Amino acid sequence: MKTGSLRFANIHLQEGPIGLLTSSLRKGRLSQTYIFAGARSVGKTRLAKTFAALLQCLEPVTGPDGSAEDAPSWRPRPTSDVVSVGSAEDAPSWRPRPTSDVVSVGSPDACGKCLSCRRVMAGSHPDVTFLRPQGAEIRVAQVRQMQELALLHPYLGKWRIFIIDPADRLNESSANSLLKILEEAPEKVVFILVAEQVERVLPTIRSRAETVLFQNPSHHAAREAIARVTGRPADEVARVYSLTEGAFGAALNLAAQDLPVTGLLPLREAQVRFLEDLERFSGQVQERVNEAPSLEAALAVVEDPDLLLFPPLLASRKSLVRGLLLAESLPAAFPVLFSRVFLDVLDKARKGLDKVLETVIARQKSAYAAEILKEMDRQFGMAVQNLFQAQVVGLLECLRHWNEDLFHFSHTADETWLLNLDRKDDIMALSLVRGLGFAESGIQLLSRSLELLSRNVQPVLLLEHVLSSIGGRTP
């Protein structure tokens, strides 16, 4: 979520994790390694950055009961045992000043304004380093580079902070290499591992870390928070939330923008519109890549998860899935034809982007060493692959969410459970013709398909199978 500066006060529905971090700061008991574990888009990365900002902040603030006298000073504890607060000499000069504008009374927060906070926010703080996957994994070479940095003194701030995001994408050798670093890390280093699937993080790493479990808010609580933060009316919030498939941070982002109003289309038109929007999306990506001032910036464009938040495409995808599920029946050839056309459009988009990238690389070539160019080329290839794969994933997830809604509604008839609350009439209508059994088998099929897709099974076969199994109301 982009709204607001990096302060705890701008993080919503995560009182537990914030409370845990602030209390460890107040007590001067900082862990050297944290694992921020929780579902997608609940604010893990945002909180990691915010925590880093607070640790580095030049003028941290605290609630009205705080004062300079009880200003916390802390040192990280190397493993699981707690190191007591250091002496006056080596205590960091962390002097909170009182303010009324904070999460809760007495809790420390970053100021959000100082040079350090601004640099963390811009991603340019020299002592806050992100380790992100290059392609599918975080590789051992990246971890080794991090090790060299970890041994250096902080350059500008008080700490060297490494945010490994997502840590469930460390491979076996990079995880082992990280473990060694954690074992030998100097005192002023803090590691934050962000993970959706914490069980994929090496148990030996987990046992050295303090795990901070993120709350997974209900759809209802998430919508209420979005309405509270953005001041938008409930029906608009419901629409934004359903467009982003219940991704809280993304919904909060989108709710701050003007959204196109799209009517509901019958299946045939929804399908055409979806494919057109996919082409527009691809055109927009190409344009942004073409305008990037450097290869790094071009790569950042393609890797930016927010790139996928292209509202017209989200809206037409929703319309398409609705059309699929509500159709009386699908033409026999639909699953095969649509899957082929959809993947052809994706393929064309991928080739188009590859071409743009080639010209961008050709233009900037002279500024880079051959070795780096080769590596960048590899990373572009993977990022582009992921970008378009995400469209197939998005369609399947959208279908799964409708089935989940159908399941919950058939089960409880409680609309606050619905992710697609803005489409509750459709879900009600569907629940009359298709019961729990249908929803349940749909959820299973889609979950399995998503899993297979993540293992690089041919998407065309998966899509055909899914569409012929769940599209249309009557067999």
Contact residues toward Zn ion (CB under 5 A) are 57, 110-111, 114, 117
Query: Smallest gap, in angstroms, from Cβ of residue 42 to Zn ion?
Result: 24
22/102 Cα distance (integer angstroms): 12
The pair phi, psi for residue 32, each rounded to 5°, is -80, -30
Cβ-based nearer residue to Zn ion, 92 or 135: 92
Amino acid, res. 386: N
**Nearest-approach distance from CB 169 to Zn ion, in angstroms:** 30
Residue closer to Zn ion, measured from CB, 109 or 303: 109
In the complex, minimum distance from the CB of residue 34 to Zn ion, in angstroms, rounded to a whole number? 20
Q: How far is the CB of 118 from Zn ion (least distance, A)?
A: 8
Residue 58 Cβ, how far from Zn ion at the closest point, in Å?
Answer: 5
Toward Zn ion, which CB reaches closer, 120 or 255? 120
How far is 238 from 318, CA to CA, in rounded Å? 13
Structure tokens given for 45: 């990365």
> Please, what is the minimum distance in Å from the beta carbon of residue 156 to Zn ion?
12
190: left (phi over 0), alpha (psi -120 to 50) or beta: beta
**Between 57 and 353, whose beta carbon lies closer to Zn ion?**
57
CA 105, distance to chain mean position in Å, is: 30
Residue 33, both tokens: 């390694």
What's the min distance (Å) between Cβ of 119 and Zn ion? Answer: 10
| Preceding amide of 166 cis, omega within 30 | yes
DSSP states along 217-263: --HHHHHHHHHHHH---HHHHHHHHHHTTT-HHHHHHHHTS------
Amino acid at site 350: R
Nearest-approach distance from CB 155 to Zn ion, in angstroms: 17
Nearer to Zn ion, 111 or 443 (CB): 111
- Least Å distance between CB 102 and Zn ion? 13
Question: Which residue number, 110 or 175, has a Cβ lying nearer to Zn ion?
Answer: 110
110/299 with CB nearer Zn ion? 110
Note whether 121 and 14 are within 8 A (CB): no
Report in angstroms how near the CB of residue 23 gets to Zn ion at its nearest. Answer: 20
Over its C-alpha atoms, the chain yields an Rg (Å, rounded) of 24
Q: Minimum Å distance from CB 5 to Zn ion?
A: 9
Q: Which is nearer to Zn ion, 117 or 178 (CB)?
A: 117
Q: Quote the CA–CA distance of 244 and 420 in Å, as a whole number.
A: 10
Residue 115: CB minimum distance to Zn ion, A: 8
Are the C-beta atoms of 5 and 117 separated by less than 8 Å? yes
Please identify which residue in the block is written with the tokens 């992921």: 386
User: Which strand (E) or helix (H) includes residue 211?
Assistant: strand 210-213
Strands (E), 18-94: 29-31, 33-37, 61-62, 75-77
Q: Is 468 helix (H, G, I), strand (E, B) or coil?
A: helix
Q: What is the DSSP string of 167-197?
A: GGGB-HHHHHHHHHHHHH--TTEEEEEEESS
Asked if 175 and 142 touch (Cβ cutoff 8 Å), the reply is no
Classify residue 161 by its DSSP letter: E
Distances (CA, A) of 110 to 94, 168, 265: 11, 28, 47
- Pick between residue 57 and residue 167 the one whose CB is nearest to Zn ion: 57
Amino acid letter, 27: K
Identify the CA nearest to 314 among candidates 268, 255, 369, 367.
Answer: 255
Residues 463 and 393: beta-carbon distance below 8 Å: no
Q: Which is nearer to Zn ion, 115 or 213 (CB)?
A: 115
User: Which residue lies nearer to Zn ion by CB, 110 or 143?
Assistant: 110
